[in-house]
Amino acid sequence: MVDELAAALDAIDEVCASEEIWYEAPLERGQILYLNNHEVGHYRSEFRDHVDPEKRRHLFRLWHWERGSVCYDGEYL
């Protein structure tokens, strides 16, 4: 079973490393990006914020769900 799991994870890594299936969605001021974690694999590229605190970005992460408990990772929010 361990070998099968390792092979499955290697296959996922191989697919995710294929640049021909990547899609970049750079965000600009005032934009919102919604992703469904059940359908899309995603990551955040490296980001360096402005050194001036007045010019730093404001990023909010939201979790939306239609059903299930009102908790994330087993802990109530």
4-61 pLDDT per residue, tens: 999 999 999 998 888 898 888 888 878 888 887 778 877 777 778 889 989 888 777 7
Domain interval for residue 60 = 24-77
Phi, psi of 75, deg, nearest 5: -115, 135
Question: Which residues have C-beta within 8 Å of that of residue 75, sequence separation ≥ 6?
Answer: none
Residue 19 forms part of a structural domain: no
Residue 1 forms part of a structural domain: no
Residue 12 forms part of a structural domain: no
**Which pLDDT score, from 0 to 100, does residue 3 have?**
93
**Which pLDDT score, from 0 to 100, does residue 25 have?**
83
Question: Which residues have C-beta within 8 Å of that of residue 15, sequence separation ≥ 6?
Answer: 21
pLDDT band with cut points at 50, 70 and 90 for residue 72:
low
Q: Scanning the structure block, which residue is given the tokens 């469904």?
A: 36
**Which pLDDT score, from 0 to 100, does residue 35 have?**
80
How many structural domains comprise the chain? 1
Residue 66 forms part of a structural domain: yes
